[in-house]
Amino acid sequence: MSEDEMEEHEPVTFVVTIENLTDTTDLASPLAPGAAVVTDDAGAIISEGAAASPGLEALAEDGPPGGFVIEIDGVVFAVPADATEAGPALPGYKLTFATMYVQSNDWFFAPGADGIELFDADGEPLVGDVTSSVYLWDAGTEADQTSGEGADQAPRQSGPNTGDDDADNMIRILGAADGIRVMVSAS
């Protein structure tokens, strides 16, 4: 889409809702504050088979998104009062984000490497349930322990960055994003 075609469209405000569906009778896992960015190169943010950056490591292991936000030039979400505002989403740009799966050593929810498309080929906003574009990832920074039981997981660890190194230190997708729902609406 050319710059002239992009300018013909009215600005669109997207609302992304990430809903925690974990069951409190099973192993409920809060979603930590996360990092998000709208970019035309989502694959550069999180790449399967790459080593985790220091900011992604901190987010995936301990929850704080600040370092990752700086690395990706993004914004923090789910943080009160001092949160920054998101930038414009132009046609051709995609949404990508990361938020810690708290009942783990270094797992996080994020879209696939291509991010989430925000506009169709005609420049119209894409809305609805985008959960199928989101995965549970392993940052490859700490050795995995049974979810919800590990002594080195955020709710039970003695301090940040506590735990043995992962023998496979590459970022990898573990599977579907069970336990959350991600919805996009536009106005």
Is residue 48 within 8 Å of 174, Cβ to Cβ? Answer: no
Structural domain includes residue 187: no
Locus of tokens 């694959």: 43
Structural domain count, the chain: 1
The contacts of residue 149 (CB under 8 Å, 6+ apart) are none
Which domain does 68 fall in, by range? 3-19+27-174
Structural domain includes residue 144: yes
Structural domain includes residue 183: no
Give the pLDDT of the chain (187 residues) as one tens digit per residue.
445 544 565 677 777 878 777 765 566 667 777 898 888 877 778 889 999 999 999 999 998 889 999 999 998 876 433 334 444 455 566 678 888 888 899 999 999 888 888 888 888 888 999 999 999 999 999 999 998 888 998 888 888 888 999 999 999 999 998 888 899 988 7
Residue 144 CA to residue 165 CA, distance in Å, equals 9
Structural domain includes residue 185: no
Structural domain includes residue 7: yes
Structural domain includes residue 96: yes
Structural domain includes residue 66: yes
Q: What are phi and psi of 120, to 5 degrees?
A: -85, -175
Structural domain includes residue 181: no
